[in-house]
A = this chain, B = another copy of it.
């Protein structure tokens, strides 16, 4: 970290900062310029320091972090891409993983039918929500354990591993009895009680970027899970909130190459939430693959107009099948396969 002192900072101010740096166990590198003094904070654990520790001190103009505030998630920690194996499906390798299924599990028949359809079209993981975070308390909140049982049956019938959301530390044991991958939704990206508890689990975690989370915050949240001991984390770009109202969210395509450069975790794209409208899902799914995503999460429903949630961004079986064909061509064009 670099600390820039104000031009009128006195020797006392500088001494106080130097002392504080040393108290925290770091070495100081002092540069007295004509106009200003600059204090370098030296030590291997810079990611442990907070900017605000110094910004509040008298005479400090501003601070700049040299290293990222996370460690285990960074490329410096692991140069090689992390590949996560889920029942034989590799996530983060050359082959792009497609996780598909309905927003919510609505019934046994519906999830079995969808599982067969997405498998036939080439999906390799089945998604489906049993515990649903809904903005209205009056909306359908998910089938709960019954939904988890239907998902497990769909896995048995199709061989597809399953992913489903967990909303609270209390539900981890129950959800963990059924799911292959824990999903953390965008409203829980900074639910630290949940992240800490998932850090103690053995199963992979699929972590969505917050509704207006920064890329750095996403990686800090991944760090919570990684530092708890669970190294199987994948991160997901799902669109951010902006002023634009033509779409539900703004899919941040830049985040794909930024995440691939900055961290070693598999990077998944969610064009359904990223656009909020099925008409645009295909274009953005192809874009995400072209930009280097390691996987896609797509919402597929037998009859979107009757979906209990997120129908507007769900694909029919037919549209999903056609999109998979198009995605195969784009994947090949960038040296990947689906």
- Complex Cα gap A279–B171 (Å): 41
Within 8 A of B (CB), among A114-128: none
Chain-B contact segment, one of A83-91, A93-101, A131-139, A153-161: A131-139
Q: Is A280 an interface residue (CB 8 A)?
A: yes
Docked-complex contact A137 and B224, CB < 8 angstroms? yes
Q: Encode A48-68 as 1/0 by CB contact (under 8 A) with B.
A: 101011011110011010100
- Complex Cα gap A55–B291 (Å): 23
Question: How many copies of this chain sit in the oligomeric assembly?
Answer: 4
Docked-complex contact A252 and B244, CB < 8 angstroms? yes
Within 8 A of B (CB), among A26-61: 29, 31, 33-36, 38, 40, 42, 44, 47-48, 50, 52-53, 55-58, 61
Q: Is A227 an interface residue (CB 8 A)?
A: yes
CB contacts (< 8 Å) of A257 on chain B: these are: 275, 279-280, 283-284
Docked-complex contact B330 and A290, CB < 8 angstroms? yes
Interface size class of A (residues with CB under 8 A): 35 or more
- Complex Cα gap A325–B256 (Å): 21
CB contacts (< 8 Å) of A55 on chain B: these are: 312
Partner of A64, one of B4, B70, B243: B4
Q: How far is the CB of A43 from chain B (nearest CB, A)?
A: 9
Partner of A253, one of B57, B215, B284, B289: B284
Chain-B contact segment, one of A173-181, A183-191, A200-208: A183-191
Q: Encode A136-148 as 1/0 by CB contact (under 8 A) with B.
A: 1111000000000
Q: Is A78 an interface residue (CB 8 A)?
A: no
CB contacts (< 8 Å) of A332 on chain B: these are: 333
Q: Is A261 an interface residue (CB 8 A)?
A: yes
CB contacts (< 8 Å) of A215 on chain B: these are: 244, 246
Q: Is A74 an interface residue (CB 8 A)?
A: no
CB-defined A-B contacts under 8 Å, sample of 20: A2-B38, A4-B66, A31-B40, A38-B38, A47-B138, A56-B305, A56-B314, A64-B64, A135-B217, A137-B228, A167-B193, A191-B191, A244-B254, A247-B254, A256-B283, A257-B279, A284-B291, A286-B290, A326-B334, A333-B333
- Which residue numbers of A lie inside 8 Å of B, CB to CB? 2, 4, 29, 31, 33-36, 38, 40, 42, 44, 47-48, 50, 52-53, 55-58, 61-62, 64, 66, 69-70, 133-139, 167-171, 187-188, 190-194, 196, 210-212, 214-217, 220, 223-224, 227-228, 240-247, 250-258, 261-262, 274-275, 278-280, 283-284, 286-292, 304-305, 307, 309-312, 314, 326, 329-330, 332-334
